[in-house]
């Protein structure tokens, strides 16, 4: 594939891996967090961990949009999906995320009309095709997906589609990063910045990482060469004692972001005063709701939503895992109360979460030789 294979050249990969090897001090242990779930996915898909020296550890961050949705919120979605006459639409990976009692997939099996869509516009189309039904879209994701939700809501208003509404659970990336960094026991040396989010918000919002916390950042693309190069950029900053935002993904990410997308977001959304993150607790101003002018399309205004908070079990230590303070297996509930089949915390929900990955196979990939 042209414009794809070029970024997956194994030869170039080996040479980058060599440069990484040359830029680390052998007695120092490096922990670099890749913030975005998409990066975690690429790291697994291409076996990037395997190409790094053993003292360079990648810590999977809080950037998996489905895993951070708290149980109470999933319960609210299920409650909406069970409303008579409702067609509940969401992205496919949301179906399996556990609420306090069940998943959306279970609710579907019990008769709720839950449908997978690939974009919010698909949900709007379903609403137009079924004027006698109420169509709700479960909007999740970081700044990457928020603009398309905003555009869809704006279009619903422009076209007066009155049987369409959005359960807005969009979140923003900077507040959870700040929350992690405020923690006194943080053990991270640097960050691989989220390329897709940065395409919308720009590279500028990540400047607080070096400026306030002294941590180097490389905004990264999603191909294997992008990731290796970004790791190298962070390591070189560390070696030189520098801390700044470098833009590895400059072919896509503008420093100032996508102004039109930001404009439509600020028109359609308003900040929630606080929002709960699975495993991380409440974080101020970390999520979006529909702005008052669009409240007619807000599913939480239109339908009764239980809004019952379901506390993460006290023993869950996702926060510590994300901060790199403990390894997955050091968590009190790892492998016993918390397993991929019955996940408690965000790190176990998605197969790419740090705990699920370790539970399923990380221990083999790292520790055992193939014979």
Partner 1 sequence: MAEAISDRESKILGIIETARAKRAKFRDPHITMSHGAGGKATSTLVEGLFVPAFASPALESLADAAALSVDGVQLAMTTDAFVVKPLRFPGGSIGGLAVNGTVNDLAMGGARPLALTLSLVLEEGLPAEILRAEVDAIACAARAAEVEIVAGDTKVVERGLADGMYICTAGLGRRDPRASLAPDQLAPGDRILLSGSIGEHGTAIMLARGELGLDADIESDTRSLWPAVDGLFDAAGVGVHCLRDATRGGVASVLNELARASGVAIVVREADVPVAATVAGAAELLGIDPMYVANEGKFVAFVAAEHAAQALAALRALPGGEAAAEIGEVKTEPPGMVLVETAFGGRRVMDQLVGDPLPRIC
**63 sits near partner 1 (criterion: CB under 8 A):** no
Applying CB under 8 A, the span of 108-116, 148-156, 196-204, 247-255 interacting with partner 1 comes to 108-116
**54 sits near partner 1 (criterion: CB under 8 A):** no
Applying CB under 8 A, the span of 258-266, 278-286, 314-322, 324-332 interacting with partner 1 comes to 324-332
The whole-angstrom separation of Cα 128 and Cα 270 is 26
- Beta-bridged to residue 86, according to DSSP, are 134
**What string of DSSP letters covers 39-72?**
HHHHHHHHTGGGGS-TTEEEEEEEE-TTTTS-HH
| Choice between 40 and 172, CB closer to partner 1 | 40
**82 sits near partner 1 (criterion: CB under 8 A):** no
The whole-angstrom separation of Cα 213 and Cα 176 is 14
What is the distance, to the nearest Å, from the Cα of residue 20 to the centroid of all Cα atoms in its chain? 27
Output the smallest distance, CB 365 to partner 1, in A: 6
**137 sits near partner 1 (criterion: CB under 8 A):** no
| Choice between 48 and 124, CB closer to partner 1 | 48
Output the smallest distance, CB 205 to partner 1, in A: 26
Q: Which residue has the tokens 């691989």?
A: 192
**332 sits near partner 1 (criterion: CB under 8 A):** no
| Choice between 172 and 346, CB closer to partner 1 | 346
Q: Which of 50, 185, 256, 292 binds partner 1 (CB under 8 A)?
A: 50
**334 sits near partner 1 (criterion: CB under 8 A):** yes
Q: How is residue 292 written in tokens? A: 């008052």
219-230: b or e for each residue (b if 16 or more CB lie within 10 Å)?
bbbbbbbbbbbb
**224 sits near partner 1 (criterion: CB under 8 A):** yes
Rg (CA), the chain: 21
Output the smallest distance, CB 153 to partner 1, in A: 21
User: Which long-range contacts does 122-129 make (Cβ < 8 Å, 24+ apart)?
Assistant: 122/89, 123/89, 123/152, 123/164, 124/152, 124/155, 124/156, 124/161, 124/164, 126/87, 126/89, 127/87, 127/156, 127/161, 127/163, 127/164, 128/159, 128/161
Q: How is residue 199 written in tokens? A: 């395409």
The whole-angstrom separation of Cα 217 and Cα 214 is 10
What is the distance, to the nearest Å, from the Cα of residue 93 to the centroid of all Cα atoms in its chain? 12
Q: Which of 47, 54, 85, 273 binds partner 1 (CB under 8 A)?
A: 47
Output the smallest distance, CB 291 to partner 1, in A: 30
| Choice between 4 and 158, CB closer to partner 1 | 4
**55 sits near partner 1 (criterion: CB under 8 A):** no
| Choice between 10 and 311, CB closer to partner 1 | 10
**3 sits near partner 1 (criterion: CB under 8 A):** no
**125 sits near partner 1 (criterion: CB under 8 A):** no
**105 sits near partner 1 (criterion: CB under 8 A):** yes
Q: Return the DSSP state at 199.
A: H
The whole-angstrom separation of Cα 353 and Cα 280 is 14
Q: By rule CB under 8 A, what count of residues binds partner 1?
A: 45
The helix/strand/coil state of 178 is helix
Q: How is residue 219 written in tokens? A: 């905004």
Site for partner 1 in 239-278 (CB under 8 A): none
Q: Which of 19, 83, 106, 296 binds partner 1 (CB under 8 A)?
A: 106
**371 sits near partner 1 (criterion: CB under 8 A):** yes
The whole-angstrom separation of Cα 42 and Cα 54 is 19
The whole-angstrom separation of Cα 219 and Cα 244 is 11
Output the smallest distance, CB 13 to partner 1, in A: 5
Q: Which of 338, 351, 352, 353 binds partner 1 (CB under 8 A)?
A: 351
Three-state DSSP string of 312-347: CCCCCCHHHHHHCCCCHHHCCCECCCECCCCCCCHH
**Residues within the interface to partner 1 (CB under 8 A):** 1, 4, 8, 10, 13-14, 17, 44-51, 92, 95-96, 105-106, 108-110, 118, 122, 224, 327, 329-330, 334-336, 339-340, 351, 359-361, 363-365, 368-371
């Amino acid at each position: 594939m042209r414009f794809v294979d070029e970024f997956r050249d194994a030869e170039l990969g080996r040479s980058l891996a060599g440069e990484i090897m040359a830029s680390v001090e052998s007695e120092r242990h490096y922990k670099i967090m890749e913030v975005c779930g998409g990066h975690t996915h690429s790291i697994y898909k291409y076996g990037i961990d395997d190409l790094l020296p053993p003292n360079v550890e990648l810590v999977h961050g809080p950037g998996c949009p489905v895993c951070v949705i708290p149980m109470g919120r999933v319960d609210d979605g299920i409650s909406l999906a069970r409303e008579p006459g409702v067609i509940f639409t969401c992205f496919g990976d949301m179906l399996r995320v556990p609420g306090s009692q069940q998943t959306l997939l279970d609710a579907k099996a019990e008769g709720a009309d839950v449908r997978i869509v690939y974009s919010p516009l698909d949900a709007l189309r379903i609403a137009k095709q079924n004027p006698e039904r109420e169509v709700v879209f479960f909007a999740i994701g970081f700044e990457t997906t928020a603009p398309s939700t905003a555009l869809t809501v704006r279009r619903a208003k422009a076209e007066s589609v009155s049987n369409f509404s959005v359960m807005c659970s969009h979140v923003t990336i900077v507040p959870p990063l700040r929350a992690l960094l405020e923690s006194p026991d943080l053990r991270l040396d640097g960050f691989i910045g989220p390329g897709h989010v940065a395409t919308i918000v720009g590279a500028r919002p990540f400047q607080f990482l070096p400026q306030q916390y002294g941590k180097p950042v490389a905004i990264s693309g999603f191909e294997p060469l992008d990731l290796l190069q970004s790791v190298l950029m962070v390591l070189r900053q560390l070696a030189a004692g520098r801390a700044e935002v470098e833009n590895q993904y400059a072919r896509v990410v503008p420093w100032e972001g996508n102004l039109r997308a930001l404009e439509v977001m600020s028109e359609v959304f308003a900040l929630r005063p606080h929002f709960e993150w699975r495993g991380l607790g409440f974080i101020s101003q970390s999520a979006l709701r529909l702005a008052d002018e669009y409240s007619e399309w807000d599913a939480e205004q239109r339908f009764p939503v239980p809004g019952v908070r379901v506390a993460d079990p006290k023993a869950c230590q996702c926060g510590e895992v994300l901060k790199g303070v403990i390894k997955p297996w050091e968590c009190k509930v790892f492998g016993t109360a918390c397993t991929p089949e019955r996940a408690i915390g965000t790190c176990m929900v998605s197969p790419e979460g740090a705990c699920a990955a370790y539970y399923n196979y990380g221990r083999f990939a790292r520790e055992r030789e193939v014979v």
